């Protein structure tokens, strides 16, 4: 019998989704709320059963692009730390930002700030010259800017593929660009879920008495941004019909 089982778990579109991804919300469970406290994301009965199955046999560690504030709006319970901002922050099992990782992230985020500023200015010019219906912001935490997030106004995503393409063309040598159903993320290359999960394992799970061979690690995710950390695990879980499932 192995002494420990852990699942590193992407959240949005892996174990819950917003109203836009659902035909209706009747009979669904609220998984996250918006800034006003109103229901925003939901789990289906299958997702509820999946989470119940996992939590009964393993420790769940969220690995998400959400900031601390957005993570706090998730009503599901996680009590063994998390990886946030695509790896920009690591929360220890007590729920606090790990100081060693934060020191590393602070240096890298400052180095990457000119890239994010340039990407924002670039999108601003593109909007003025005809790329309509796109809004964007720089997502950060604890005074640090981590990545750029672009969305379609009012949930209109028709211009997102073009947005992803021009960001990739302009900044692809220095950043990763991910296209989702409802947004586009531009991440400086240091920002990496895999690196943060690897750090989490070494810092908070492995001990002098517990080696990697003593552990069962599972990874669950729905996008290309999740492939790296999932590859660290013994088993990879991918929701049917998601973007990563289609790619594979």
Mean pLDDT by 10 residues, the chain (248 residues): 85 89 76 94 94 94 96 95 97 97 97 97 88 88 95 78 94 94 92 97 95 95 93 95 75
Overall pTM surpassing 0.75 (yes/no): yes
pLDDT of residue 23: 67
Q: Are 6 and 58 in contact (CB under 8 A)?
A: yes
Non-local (6+) Cβ contacts of 168 within 8 A are 177
pLDDT tens digits, residue range 122-150?
A: 999 988 887 778 899 999 999 999 999 99
Start and end residues for every CATH 3.40.50.1000 domain found in the chain: 4-99+192-247
User: Where in the chain is CATH 3.30.70?
Assistant: 110-188
How many CB atoms are located within 10 Å of the residue 51 CB? 20
What the block records as the tokens of 29 is 């469970």
User: Could you tell me the two tokens for 42?
Assistant: 């939901």
Q: What is the pLDDT of residue 128?
A: 83
CATH entry 3.80.30.20 includes domain 4-99+192-247: no
Max distance between CA atoms of the chain, in angstroms, equals 62
Give CA–CA dist 242/222, Å, rounded: 6
Q: Which CATH class is domain 110-188?
A: alpha beta
- Alpha carbon distance 65, 50 (integer Å): 21
């Amino acid at each position: 019998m192995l002494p420990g089982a852990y699942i590193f778990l992407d959240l949005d579109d892996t174990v819950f989704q917003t109203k836009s991804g659902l035909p209706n919300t009747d009979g669904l469970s609220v998984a996250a709320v918006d800034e006003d406290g109103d229901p925003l994301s939901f789990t289906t009965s299958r997702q509820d059963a999946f989470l119940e199955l996992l939590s009964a046999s393993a420790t769940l560690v969220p690995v998400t692009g959400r900031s601390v504030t957005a993570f706090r709006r998730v009503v599901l319970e996680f009590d063994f730390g998390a990886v946030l901002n695509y790896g920009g922050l690591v929360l220890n099992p007590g729920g606090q930002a790990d100081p060693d990782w934060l020191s590393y992230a602070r240096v890298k985020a400052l180095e990457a700030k000119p890239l994010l500023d340039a990407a924002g200015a670039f999108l601003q010019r593109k909007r003025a010259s005809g790329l309509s219906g796109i809004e964007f912001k720089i997502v950060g935490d604890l005074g640090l800017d981590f990545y750029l997030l672009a969305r379609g106004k009012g949930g209109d995503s028709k211009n997102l593929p073009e947005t992803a393409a021009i960001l990739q063309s302009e900044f692809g040598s220095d950043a990763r660009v991910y296209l989702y159903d409802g947004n586009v993320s531009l991440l400086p290359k240091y920002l990496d879920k895999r690196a943060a999960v690897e750090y989490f394992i070494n810092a908070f799970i492995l001990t002098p008495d517990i080696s990697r061979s003593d552990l069962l690690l599972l990874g669950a995710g729905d996008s290309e941004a999740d492939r790296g950390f999932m590859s660290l695990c013994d088993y990879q879980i991918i929701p049917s019909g998601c973007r990563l499932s289609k790619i594979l």
